[in-house]
Amino acid sequence: MVDPVAAVFSCAGELSVRELVVLLDALVTGCSHYPGLDEAGRPRLFLHEVETRLDEWGRFRGSGTVRKALRRAREGVESPKETETRLVIVDVGLPEPEVQFVVRDGSRFVARVDLAYPELRIAIEYEGDGHRTDKAQWRKDIARQRDLEGCGWLVIRLTQSDLDDPGVFLACLRRALSSRMITR
C-alpha cells in the first residue's frame, strides 16, 4: 500500500495538468464530505508538504506535470467539480475566484460559496445532481440564493452540462464581471 501523495506521483505520467490539479486539490482538502473520502484517520496535507515530497522524489515520469499542477492547486476546495469550474474560468483568462468564500451580513453568517469574487459580490455555485434530487437540499439552496441576493450578491449556478460546454456559463460570468466592475 502507498500513501496518497505517492499514488498521485506514481500515476502522474498518465495524467494531464487539469487531472492532477483535481487530485492535488483533493489531497489538500480538509473537507470531510469530499466525494469518496473519509477524513477520519486521513492526514491533512498542505501544498507545501506535497511540494517537499516532490523535491524528495526528484525527477520521475510526470514530475514536470505535477510541478505545473501544483501551481494551480488550491487548499480548501470541496469537490472535483469546484476545481474543474475554477480551471474553466482561469483557462479563458478571467480572474481567479476565491474558493470557499464565507459571506457575512455584518456578523451574521449568510453562506459559504464554492467560488467568489468578493469585491464584486459575485458567487459561483456548482450544483451536482444531489442538489436537484434531494428535496431538502433543493429547498435549502433556493433559500440560500435568496439570502445571498438579499445581501446584494449575484449568484451564478452551473451544472455538469456547463462544464461540458462552458460557452454560455462563461458568457454569463463575463457579463456579470463587466456589469459589476462598471458599477463599482
pLDDT computed for residue 117 by the predictor: 98
Q: In terms of DSSP bridges, do strands 108-117 and 98-105 run parallel, antiparallel, or are they unpaired?
A: antiparallel
What is the residue type of 66?
A: V
Do 122 and 156 share a domain, yes or no? yes
Instruction: Look at residues 77, 98, 115 and tell me which one is the last residue of a structural domain.
Output: 77
Mean of the per-residue pLDDT values for the chain? Answer: 90
Residues 47 and 135 in one domain: no
Same domain, 31 and 47: yes
Q: What is the pLDDT of residue 19?
A: 97
> What is the residue range of 133's domain?
82-182
| 122 vs 36, residue with greater confidence | 122
* CATH code at position 90: 3.40.960.10
**pLDDT tier, 45 (very low <50, low <70, confident <90, very high otherwise):** confident
Residues 69 and 99 in one domain: no
Q: Are 95 and 158 part of one and the same domain?
A: yes
Tens-place pLDDT, residues 71-129: 999 998 988 999 999 999 999 999 999 999 999 999 999 999 999 999 999 999 999 86
Check: CB of residue 96 under 8 Å from CB of residue 86: yes
Q: What is the pLDDT of residue 128?
A: 81
Same domain, 96 and 71: no
Q: Summarize pLDDT for 64-75 with one digit per residue, the tens.
A: 999 999 999 999
pLDDT of 44 reads: 73
Cβ partners under 8 Å of residue 22, min gap 6: 80, 83, 84
Contacts of 10 (CB under 8 A, 6+ apart): 2
Task: Based on the fold, state whether residues 70 and 86 are members of the same structural domain.
Answer: no
**Is there a single domain that holds both residue 88 and residue 72?**
no
**Grid cell of 36 as nine digits:** 469518496
The pTM of the full predicted model, rounded to 2 decimals, is 0.89
Structural domain count, the chain? 2
DSSP-derived pairing of the beta strands 122-126 and 154-158: parallel
Question: Is pLDDT of 32 > 80?
Answer: no
130 pLDDT band, cuts 50/70/90, is low
Residue 73 shares a structural domain with residue 87? no
Indicate if 96 and 62 belong to the same structural domain: no
